[in-house]
Amino acid sequence: MAPPFVPRAAKLAKVRYGSTTITAKAWEVTAEVESEADTTNFEGVQVGGLMCVEKLGCTVHATFTIELDADAASNLYDALFLGSGIGPLGNMPNRALTLYLNDIGSPAWVFPTPYFKSAPMTANVKESLRHRITGEGSTSFIYPTGPF
């Protein structure tokens, strides 16, 4: 018998960039097949006399988006880019981006060397200043495993 379904709220999700805490409102990770190989062959699966196309995922690519309010006491751009020496966007060596599912120590998406593609800031007179960071795993990523 399967255990009962236990939903988990995102209220304890956390974002860490190296040792820096990023107080986010939302994050999203999309993992998708980047390249694939067609492995259809004469001995493959047949349905009703028709050959089914068989594909194998060769590489998986993961992108992330983080949404947050600007913190007047802690400039996000200082946390992301200060001392990197590479300009406003790109690879950030030796700083992993970790997106925890349920507090520190829980399963997490980990991007050992994140590649930041954009970090726009939005100002609307009726709202707080906002950031929306987008990026991807530049070399690899680790997906969350285990219960959380």
What is the tens place of the pLDDT at every residue in 54-71? 665 557 789 999 999 988
What is the tens place of the pLDDT at every residue in 1-32? 777 888 888 889 999 988 888 889 999 999 88
Is the entire prediction scored with pTM above 0.85?
no
What is the tens place of the pLDDT at every residue in 103-137? 999 999 999 888 888 888 899 999 999 999 998 88
Locate the domains of the chain by residue range.
11-39+53-137
Query: Distance between CA atoms of 67 and 23, rounded to whole angstroms?
Result: 9
Yes or no: say if 146 and 107 are a contact pair by the CB < 8 Å rule: yes
Q: Which CATH number fits domain 11-39+53-137: 3.30.70, 2.40.128, 1.25.40, 2.40.30?
A: 2.40.30
